[in-house]
Amino acid sequence: MNMPAALALLVSSSSTTTPTVPGGFIAWLICWSQRRKEVGGFLLFYYWQVIGGVLISLIFLGIGLQTYVPESYTESSAYLLNLAAIVPSICMLFAQAMVAIMLLQNRTWKMLKLLRMAIVVSILVEVGTLVIEFLYLKNDLGMLLGALSIASYTAFALYFFLSKRVRHVFYFHDWSEAVKGIYPERAMAQ
């Protein structure tokens, strides 16, 4: 499954789980150039996204540590709502990253199913976060980032359910042969 560059950049642009636009563009170029490798193309782009998301989340956790201190809030309900909007998303991102790394080490269909489930749960968590942002926190930036996260996770879920590469790498284990039909080598100009 190939994804057009514009859609890849849109999905990677400003979510808390993804690098920013210049990073997303550079990532897409690198991943596109590696598309013939077993973990290349959009599969490599997924790994760039999830690991980049973990790193960015760690940076923002360090910067915004006061966000997680109850004394920073005048009402305990605002503190609890903020935690409910942030913590599950971060936990799912870290869980997804751990499963994704385990999948690289143990390339089995069973592990892929676990990653698919983690991505689907991440979508559900982001929908819940978006509802909290919309109904209670009224944070426009939070709603935008939540919507972008849902779009990104949905694109990756579709990829992991529909991709030929994913089937060949994790089920058939025959990417070295399948790549010739999916990405045929071009004849060299004489």
Section 127-136 average pLDDT: 95
Q: Return the exposure string of 51-84: e unless at least 16 CB atoms fall within 10 Å of the residue's CB, then b.
A: ebbbebbeeeeeeeeeeeeeeeeeeeeebebbee
CA angle 54–59–63, rounded 5-degree value: 145
pLDDT at 4 over 70: no
pLDDT of 189: 52
> CA quadruple 166, 18, 2, 118: dihedral positive or negative?
positive
Place of tokens 């540590």: 65
Query: Residue 90: CB partners within 8 Å, gap ≥ 6?
Result: 57, 61
What rounded mean pLDDT belongs to the chain? 87
CA distance 82 to 68: 8
Section 72-101 average pLDDT: 94
List, for residues 18-69, the tens digit of each pLDDT value: 445 677 788 889 999 999 999 999 999 999 999 999 999 999 999 989 888 9
Integer angstrom CA distances of residue 105 from 100, 150, 170: 9, 27, 11
pLDDT at 7 over 90: no
List, for residues 143-172, the tens digit of each pLDDT value: 999 999 999 999 999 999 999 999 999 999
pLDDT of 24: 73
